Amino acid sequence: MKKSLLALAVAGAFSSAAFAQSSVTLFGIADTGFNYSKGDGNGNIKQLTNSGLNSSRFGVRGSEDLGGGLKANFWFEGSVNTDNGTGSATNTNNQASGNPPAGAAGGQGFTFNRRMFVGLSGGFGEARLGRNYTPIFLQISANDPFGTNGSGDTKIYTTTGLATTAAVQTTVRASNAIEYLTPPGIGGVYVHGMYALGENPSNVTTATVGPNDGRVLSLRVGFAGGPVDVSGAYAKTTYLQSATQGNYIVYGAGMTLTFGAFKPMLQYVHHKIDNDNSVTADPERTDWLAGIVMTFGALDVRASYNRYDVKNTTNDAQQLALGPVYNLSRRTALYGTVSQMDNKGTGVAFVTGSRPTTTPGGKALGIDLGIRHSF
């Protein structure tokens, strides 16, 4: 009798939760592998690492049907380092640590640093509030065969070579963001806009921090139809302009074509530190990527060529990457990647792993071998 009453109580609790919440899903990715990294003049390192194919993560997401096509949605997602059990820091205001009020936060404890937002969706599209990827980063990642992961990932989203003391915190994500996404099915056109706040007081008086620092404006517009997915994106992060720093501006375009088993990709991205007070030319960098993903049954083969050119200098780099992925099932895969970076000039050192070259114009090599499981 007592067992029956307990079962009824448990069933009632779950039925109430189901009524209040249409769906809640726990999800994640465990990706761990062996990595070998070498940089000319800087030795090599052998290590167990993570996220060589997809970023390791843990999260919970869900939605509630409010009726009339309207839904309430939430998404909490954090990084996990599956090789050692630590988490990753987040950033509270899109600014370097020490800027008011905080900047970097969380240390190596688990944080929902990847995505954390709540919003509404319906026939009008979707509105979100919280922390998320910037629209331009989503474009860059979508047009990279390696998805900005592992030794073969593109460095297009980084600020390497742009000499500035303003530590840009928004190359991937932004906190305090207000987003809007158009609904699917409007002729293949899609739009993703973001406005994020730096949350500084209006009377901030430090010599290196302005009231609008950490403010982000980013927009992506694209078309997806048939074999073609093409888009353009722009982002600006505001920082106080002085002799050594300025606003960070990045824009570009990308395209993916799908022809049966072959998916070629192209993209162009331009970075600039906009500094009206500088006595020298604004630091700028232009990047190009050409890549492809080829599918042969359970085997995917990824390859890419990247070129990075720092304007008004002799500093540039070229990167070649190749990586097979063997899918044991829909959720589990074995992968390998080899990538080499060839730096030219003396003022910059692009890397493929954790060992940057210290030899002027040197080369860097990265190799990954790992397993990924998603749930």
Q: What does the pLDDT read at residue 14? A: 43
Q: What does the pLDDT read at residue 305? A: 98
b or e along 326-345 (b: 16 or more beta carbons within 10 Å of the residue's beta carbon)?
A: ebeeeeebebbbbbbbebee
Amino acid at 111: T
Report how far residue 137's alpha carbon sits from residue 230's, in angstroms, rounded to the nearest whole number.
Answer: 14
pLDDT digits (tens, 9 = 90+) for 59-83: 999 999 999 999 999 999 999 999 9
Contact by Cβ (8 Å): 364, 44:
no
Residue 46: name the closest of 370, 366, 372 by CA.
366
For the record, the structure tokens of 351 come out as 């890397």
Q: How far does CA 344 lie from the centroid of its chain?
A: 27
Amino acid at 145: P
Q: What does the pLDDT read at residue 245? A: 73
Instruction: Tell me what the mean pLDDT of segment 353-366 comes to.
Output: 87
Three-state SS letters, 183-228: CCCCCCEEEEEEEECCCCCCCCCCCCCCCCCCCEEEEEEEEEECCE
Looking at the predicted structure, is the pLDDT value of residue 101 above 70? no
Instruction: Tell me what the mean pLDDT of segment 203-219 comes to.
Output: 87
Residue 70 pairs in a beta bridge with: 67
Identify the weakest region by mean pLDDT among 50-59, 170-179, 259-268, 337-346: 337-346
Identify the weakest region by mean pLDDT among 30-39, 51-60, 339-348: 339-348
H-type alpha helices, the chain: 2-20, 135-142
Q: What does the pLDDT read at residue 141? A: 96
Report how far residue 130's alpha carbon sits from residue 128's, in angstroms, rounded to the nearest whole number.
Answer: 7
Q: What does the pLDDT read at residue 164? A: 60
Tell me the backbone φ, ψ of residue 225, rounded to 5 degrees.
Answer: -160, 130
Residue 311: name the closest of 279, 348, 362 by CA.
348
Q: What does the pLDDT read at residue 349? A: 79
Domain spans of the chain?
25-374
For residue 74, what are the contacts with CB-CB under 8 A and spacing of at least 6? 61, 62, 63, 117, 118, 119
CB atoms within 10 A of CB 271: 27
Instruction: Tell me what the mean pLDDT of segment 237-250 comes to.
Output: 82
Confidence of residue 267 (pLDDT cuts 50, 70, 90): very high
Q: What does the pLDDT read at residue 175? A: 97
Report how far residue 218's alpha carbon sits from residue 132's, in angstroms, rounded to the nearest whole number.
Answer: 12
Report how far residue 101's alpha carbon sits from residue 224's, in angstroms, rounded to the nearest whole number.
Answer: 41
**The CA-based dihedral angle spanning residues 127, 133, 134, 138, taken in that order and rounded to the nearest 10 degrees:** -110
Looking at the predicted structure, is the pLDDT value of residue 298 above 90? yes
Per DSSP (E only), the strands in 22-69 are 23-39, 44-50, 57-67
| Best mean pLDDT range from 159-163, 267-271, 277-281 | 267-271
pTM: 0.89
3-class DSSP assignment, residue 104: strand
Identify the weakest region by mean pLDDT among 76-90, 190-204, 265-279: 265-279
Report how far residue 36's alpha carbon sits from residue 52's, in angstroms, rounded to the nearest whole number.
Answer: 12
pLDDT digits (tens, 9 = 90+) for 139-186: 999 999 999 999 999 999 988 888 665 578 899 999 999 999 999 888
CATH H-level superfamily of 25-374: Porin (2.40.160.10)
Q: What does the pLDDT read at residue 138? A: 97
| Best mean pLDDT range from 145-159, 191-205, 265-279, 285-299 | 285-299
Residue 241 pairs in a beta bridge with: none
Residue 64: name the closest of 28, 17, 102, 31 by CA.
17
b or e along 101-131 (b: 16 or more beta carbons within 10 Å of the residue's beta carbon)?
A: eebbbbeeeebbbbbbbebbbeeebbbbebb
Is the model more confident about 208 or about 139?
139
> Terminal CA-to-CA distance of the chain, rounded, Å?
38
Query: Where on the phi/psi map is residue 214: left (φ > 0), alpha (ψ -120 to 50), or beta?
Result: left
Amino acid at 79: S
Rounded CA Rg of the chain: 22
Looking at the predicted structure, is the pLDDT value of residue 11 above 50? no
pLDDT digits (tens, 9 = 90+) for 106-138: 777 899 999 999 999 999 999 999 999 999 999
Q: What does the pLDDT read at residue 46? A: 96
Looking at the predicted structure, is the pLDDT value of residue 191 above 90? yes
